[in-house]
Structure 1
Amino acid sequence: MAGGLVALLDDIAAMAKLSAASLDDVAGAAGRAGAKAAGVVIDDTAVTPTYVTGLSPTRELPIIWKIAKGSARNKLLFLLPAALVLSAFAPWAITPILMAGGAFLCFEGVEKILHALSPHHDGDEAAAITDPAELEARQVAGAIRTDLILSGEIMAIALGELGDQTLLNQGIALGIVAVAITAGVYGLVALIVKMDDIGLHLAKKPGTAALGRGMVAAMPRVLSALSIIGTAAMLWVGGGIIVHGMEEFGLEALPHAIHHAAEVAGEATGALSGVVTWAVNAMGAAVVGIVVGGVVVGLLKLVPGKKH
C-alpha cells in the first residue's frame, strides 16, 4: 500500500515537472515570438493615435478602449484560430494571405498621402461627417479594420517562431502574445493621447509647471509626427510583407537588391550599422509599398460606380 502511494506520488511529481517544463517552453516561446513581432507593434502604436485626433478629449479614452476591445477580439477570436488551422492544414496559404493584407496596408498608406496632398478631395468622407457619434463610429471601425491587418502580421510572425511547439502550446503562446501586445500597445496609446491632460495637471504645480507647459505645447507636434509615422508605417510594413512574400515565392531579385543596399549602407556607417541597415530596409520596403498601393488605388478607380 505504502509502495503504491509512493509510486503514485512519484508519478504526480513527474507530471508536475513535465507541466512546469511545458509552461516554461510556452513562456519562452511566447517571449521570443513577441520580440520578433516588435517592429509591427511599433507600427501599430504609431498608427492608432491618429484615429482620435480631432475628436473630443472626453471621448479619447473610451474610443481607445473600444479599439482595444476590437483588437483583442481580432486576435483571440479570429486570427488565433485561423492561424492554428492554417498551420495545421494549409501552411502554404499563410504567405498569400499576408501579401493580400500587405497590399491593403499599402493602399491605406497611399490613400492617406493622396488625401493629405488634396485636403479638399471630394471623396474625403470624414470632412463631410458632422455628427460626432457617426464620426467616432467611423474612426473606431477604421482603426479596428487596420488593426486586423497589423494584428494578422503580428500573429503570423509570432506563429513563425513557434514551429517547434505542439499545436496546443502554439495556441497558448499565441494567446499570451495577443493579450500582452494588445495591453501594451493600447496602454501606451492611452498614455500618448492623454499627455496633454497630464501636462495641464503638472502645469498647476509650482515644481513642475515648466515641464507641464512644455508637454502641453509639444503634444500637437507629437500627434502630427505620429500621424506621419503611422502613414509611413503602413507603407513600410505593407511593403515589407510584399517583399518577404516575393522571397517565399522565389522572386528574389528585388528583395536581394534591397537587402544588399541595406548591408552596404550598414557596413559603411560603423557603430550605426544596425540602425542604418534597418532604415534602408524600411525605406526600400516603403518604396515598394508606395508602388503597390498606387497600383491598387489605380485599379480601384477603374471599378464602375465606385466613389473616389
Structure 2
Amino acid sequence: MVAQPIDHCRKLFMKHESHEGNLLEKTESQPKVDDVDIFTAARLLQYLMLFFIIYMCRREYHKSGRCHYLIWLRTCFMEKTLSPGEKKENETRKEEIKPEQEELQKKLEELQNKLGRRKAQFKSAWRNAPLYADWRKEEFEAVKLTLDAASAHPALRLSEKGRQVAWQERPQDLPSSTQRFDSLPCVLGQLNITSGRCYWEVEVGDTCSWDLGICRDNITRKGVVTMSPQNGFWAIRLYEGEYWALTSPETLLILREIPLSVGIFLDYEAGDVSFYNMTDGSHIFTFPQNTFYGILRPLFRLWSSDSGLLTIVKVEEN
C-alpha cells in the first residue's frame, strides 16, 4: 500500500523530466544561460518537494503509527486523482458511517472497562472467585514437572522424558522400595512443594479412568489405602464415566464439559487445592481449606490396562 503512492510520484517525475528533455532539445539551437538556470532551479525544487514529502511521511509514521501513516499517504496522493464528484461522494460516505463507528467504539470501550473492572475485582479477591482458569494462572507459578520413576507402581510405564504414564500388561520386575507404590497403581511427580502458589496441567484426553491431585510425601504406599484428605490425599477421579472429588465421603461432580486437560492449582500457605477444566476454563472443584505441613507432591493414578495414558503439559520457555 505504501509503495503505490511512491511509484506514482516517481512516474510523475519521470514524465516531467521527459517533458523537460523535449523542451531542451527544442531550445538547443538557442541556448541561453537563463533558461538553463530556470530548468536547474525547477529540478532542484522538485527534489526539495520530494524530500519534504518523504520527511512528512516519516514524521507522520512515527507520530501516529503505521495505520495513520497509510491513511495520510492515501489522503496526500490517491485522493488527488479523484474528481470533485468522487471526492464529494467519499466525504458523504464518511459522514454516513461516522455515527456507526462512534457507536462501535463506544461499545468496545464499555466492554473493555467492564472486563477491566471484573478482572480488578478478581485480583483483589481471587480466592473467592474461582471461575476463570486463565486469570487464576496469573496468581500462580507454572512448574516444570516430571514423574518420579522410583515411586511408580510396577504396572505403570513411564516415557523416557518422564512426562507420560501408561499401563502395561505385564508388571515390571522391580526391586522393592519404601518409595514405590505396591497396591495403588500410582506414581508421584518429582517435585517437593513446601511453600508458595503453583500449578501444572495434565492432558487426560479420552483416558477413561484416572485420579489426579496432590498428596503428602509421607503417605502410606504399601497395602490398602483409602484416598482422602484425612489420609493425606487431595484428588479428583474419573471412573466409569463419573467424576468424583475424593472427600470423605466422596463428592459427585457435575461438569458442563468433559475436560481434555485438567489444571491443578495449589496455594500452600492458604491450604487451598483447586481443579480446573482447562478445555473451557471452568472450575471443577476446590477442597475445603486445609492446614498443610511437610512436603506435598503431585499425584497420578491409572486404574486398569484400558485406562489410557496421562501426559504432563510441557511448560513453555519464556
TM-score bin (small chain): under 0.3
* TM-score w.r.t. length of structure 2: 0.18
Q: Which has the higher contact order (CA 8 A, sep 6+)?
A: 1
* TM-score w.r.t. length of structure 1: 0.18
Return the structure number with greater strand share. 2
Larger Rg: 2
Return the structure number with greater helix share. 1
